[in-house]
Each structure stands twice: as structure tokens, then as C-alpha cells.
Amino acid sequence: GAVVSQHPSWVICKSGTSVKIECRSLDFQATTMFWYRQFPKQSLMLMATSNEGSKATYEQGVEKDKFLINHASLTLSTLTVTSAHPEDSSFYICSALSGSGQRTYTFGSGTRLTVV
């Protein structure tokens, strides 16, 4: 089946630095990628939706200058957390929507970000 590879699975960074998270669709073309944030034992909060070659659409309350999303190709989308602070520590998950056939939502394995 469809696989989305998300890296890194966990990362620790210092406050003020930037961190990039990658999601790659391995065997299909992802026309649309969704980025979520999840706190422990809570639901997934959609941060933004990106379509290949277009600017991402951010949900209300999400700082677009802080969470930079790039979807430059049909198989790669990245989320960069700029000038990270401890409150950005969370679990980030990507989800890709395949472009043809019976469209399905395939999730990456997530990235645990800890900002110290």
C-alpha cells in the first residue's frame, strides 16, 4: 500500500534554532499534503494544507512565518519550524492525499520535536 516516510522520527533542538521535517510519498504522487500537530492524548490539530507547486493554506491561529511549508514536488513536502521555542515542542504528523484512483489519506509516522 501507499507509504509516507517522515523524518526525523524525533529531534531535540535548542531554543532559537530551526528544524526541518520531511515527508516523502514513496510509491505514489501526493497532490495534497496536510500537516498536523498533536499534544499527548489529544486529537490531531490541522496546521496547514499544501498542494504541490502552490502556497500552503494555514489554519486560523497558525503562524505562517513560523511554520514554513514547502511542497515543491509531488513526492516531497517539508515543514520547517523557525526560531523554535519550548512551546513548539509537540508531535507533528503529515498526511498525504493520493492524486488518482480511490483517493486515500496516508499518514507519516510522526516527528516528536523537543525544544530545550
Partner 1 sequence: AQTVTQSQPEMSVQEAETVTLSCTYDTSESDYYLFWYKQPPSRQMILVIRQEAYKQQNATENRFSVNFQKAAKSFSLKISDSQLGDAAMYFCAYGKVAAGGTSYGKLTFGQGTILTVHP
Instruction: Give the residues lining the site for partner 1 (CB under 8 A).
Output: 32, 34, 38, 41-44, 46, 49, 91, 93, 95, 97, 102-105, 107, 109-110
CA distance 89 to 96: 23
Cβ proximity to partner 1, 83 vs 98, nearer residue? 98
18/109 with CB nearer partner 1: 109
CB 112 within 8 A of CB 12: no
26: left (phi over 0), alpha (psi -120 to 50) or beta: alpha
By C-beta, is 38 or 82 nearer to partner 1?
Answer: 38
